[in-house]
Amino acid sequence: MASNPVTAMKASLVSCHDCHLVSKVSRSHSNASMVCSRCGATLHQRKPNSISRTWALVLAAYVLYIPANVLPITTVISLGKEQSDTIMSGVMYFIATGMWPIAAIIFIASVFVPLVKLLILSFLLITVQRKSHWRPRERTQLYRIVEVVGRWSMLDIYVVTILVALVKLGALATIDAGPGAVYFAAVVVTTIFAAESFDPRLIWDAMEKNHAGTKPGNSSSS
Ligand SMILES: [Zn+2]
């Protein structure tokens, strides 16, 4: 790593989030009211309120994660008999019937990955808040993983897998998505928004302030 890299922030430049035009930050209105001269979008050197916004979404996702796993994700009515399954009871069903690869896929996609994503985001938030210098490169990679996994988490497919396979259906069965499915979708969406709100440049800001030591006090809050 270069010991003292030039960043846009240090050079008083800011990139437009929408059209990526680079503009010069004038000292007079350092933060609040800058707009892009080309497309008119509001300019920010860092995503505004990134930490508190991401925390709010992460905590919301933790809360939603509980009903997503406790409430039934499918309700099957077959010959007047009603059966509800949570994600875990579905996983247990597949293990019991020897279809453990499907059980593993559902467990990893629906229980393990969503929780790991939330834990990684919490970890990144805590280290940024503590201005940690610990392995910034690896932490940035962690963030990238969360972002990529979020974009590719095809939850529909796994839910449909549960729906279809759990029932092995007699034609007389009706399947409804249980309330757990709604919470489950909410966890996935909330986590994607949380990852989007987090600004990974904050990881590096702590490093640079240490190296340079030239930043005036008033910029520490930006
Ligand atoms: Zn623009």
Read off the pLDDT of residues 120-158 as tens digits, 9 standing for 90 and up.
Answer: 999 999 999 999 999 999 999 999 999 888 766 665 556
E strands of the chain, at which residues? 13-15, 22-24, 74-78, 81-85, 174-177
- The encoded tokens of residue 22 equal 């680079």
Is a pLDDT exceeding 50 seen at residue 166? yes
Ligand 1 mean position to 79 CA, how many Å? 60
Is a pLDDT exceeding 50 seen at residue 80? yes
Q: Residue 41 corresponds to which amino acid?
A: A
Ligand 1 mean position to 19 CA, how many Å? 4
Q: What is the pLDDT of residues 51-79, one digit of tens each?
A: 999 999 999 999 999 999 999 988 878 77
Ligand 1 ion: residues within 5 Å (CB): 16, 18-19, 21, 36, 38-39, 41
Q: How far apart are CA 67 and CA 52, in angstroms?
A: 24
Ligand 1 mean position to 44 CA, how many Å? 11
Q: What is the band of 217 on the pLDDT scale with cuts at 50, 70, 90?
A: very low
Choose between 130 and 7: higher pLDDT.
130
pTM above 0.85, yes or no: no
Q: How far apart are CA 119 and CA 143, in angstroms?
A: 11
Q: For residue 123, which of 143, 151, 149, 103 has the smallest C-alpha distance?
A: 143
Ligand 1 mean position to 66 CA, how many Å? 41
Q: What is the pLDDT of residues 174-201, one digit of tens each?
A: 777 788 888 988 998 899 899 999 999 9
* Beta-bridge partners for 176: 75
Q: What is the band of 220 on the pLDDT scale with cuts at 50, 70, 90?
A: very low
Ligand 1 mean position to 68 CA, how many Å? 39
Ligand 1 mean position to 18 CA, how many Å? 5
Ligand 1 mean position to 43 CA, how many Å? 8
Ligand 1 mean position to 191 CA, how many Å? 27
Q: How far apart are CA 73 and CA 165, in angstroms?
A: 13
Residues 6+ apart with CB under 8 A from 60: 190
Is a pLDDT exceeding 70 seen at residue 165? no
